[in-house]
Amino acid sequence: MRIDGMAAVVTGGASGLGNATAKALAEAGAKVTIFDLNEEAGKAKAAEIGARFVSVNVSDDVSVAAGLAASQEAHGVARILVNCAGVAPAVKTVGKDNVPHPLDIFAKTIGVNLIGTFNLISKFAALLAAADEIEGERGVIVNTASVAAFDGQIGQAAYSASKGGVVGMTLPIARDLAQHKIRVMTVAPGIFLTPMLESFPQNVQDALGAQVPHPNRLGKPAEYAQLVQSIILNPMLNGEVIRLDGAIRMAPR
C-alpha cells in the first residue's frame, strides 16, 4: 500500500509515538486525521503537519463512529489506520496495606488499550471493505502493543494484560480481514522517549536507556514511525507482531 495520497487515521496522535507517526505519514504525502482526547495538543499538532484533528474516545462506540465519519468526509475512505492511543497505569495486584488492585483501573486499561484498539479496527475495516482495491489490497492496520505483553514488570498486570490481548488478536484479525484484502500488523515497542519518559530526570532516562543492549539508549518515536511506514509499504507483512526494542528483555522491576 502506498502512502502518498492515501487517507490515514492515527489514534493517540497528539503526542509520543502517535504524533511521530502522524508527522511521518503527512510528510510522506498522506492525508492524516489525528484522533485524541487532548484537544489543545491535538489541534496544535494537526495544524503543524497539515492534518485534521477529531476528538475521539477510542473505547466509545459512538465517538469512534463519528470520528471515522468526519475523517472520511474530509479525506475520503481511509486506507491506513495506526492505533497508538493508550494508557499505562502502574499498580500492583496487591498494594500497600494489602489493598487489592482497583478494578476500575484494570477495566479502564483494558477498555482503552484492548477494547479501544478492537473498536477502531472493526469499524475502520467495515468502512474499508466496501472500497476499491489498490494494487491488490485495500488497506493496512498497524496496532501498538508493548514488550510488556511478553516481559511484564511489577505493577504492570493491567497494562500487560491489555497489550497481551492486542498481540493475541493480531493473527486472527488478519485472517478475518484477509478476504477483504486488509493487512493487520502489531508493533511491540521497548523503552521509547515518549512524553512520560521525558518528564523523568535525565539520570533516570540514562539509566533506562542503559538497559537496552544495542543501540544502548532509549528508542526514538521517529524510529517507531519508520517501522510503521515500512509495514505499510511491504505487502507481505501481515498477521505478525514485531518487537522494536533493541534486544531488551525487561527485568521484574
pLDDT tens by residue, 220-245: 999 999 999 999 999 999 999 999 99
pTM passes above 0.85: yes
In CATH, which of 3.40.50.970, 3.40.50.720, 3.40.50.300, 3.40.50.1220 is domain 7-192+220-244? Answer: 3.40.50.720
- Give φ, ψ of 81 to 5 degrees: -125, 125
pLDDT-derived band at 21 (thresholds 50, 70, 90) equals very high
pLDDT-derived band at 198 (thresholds 50, 70, 90) equals confident
Which secondary-structure segment (H or E) carries 9? Answer: strand 7-11
Over residues 166-192, mean pLDDT: 98
Which residues are designated catalytic? 159
The two counts, helices (H) then strands (E), for the chain are 10, 7
CA–CA separation, 108 and 103 (whole Å): 9
Tell how strand 31-36 and strand 241-244 pair up: unpaired
Give residue 57's Cα distance to chain centre: 14
| pLDDT of 106 above 90 | yes
pLDDT-derived band at 196 (thresholds 50, 70, 90) equals confident
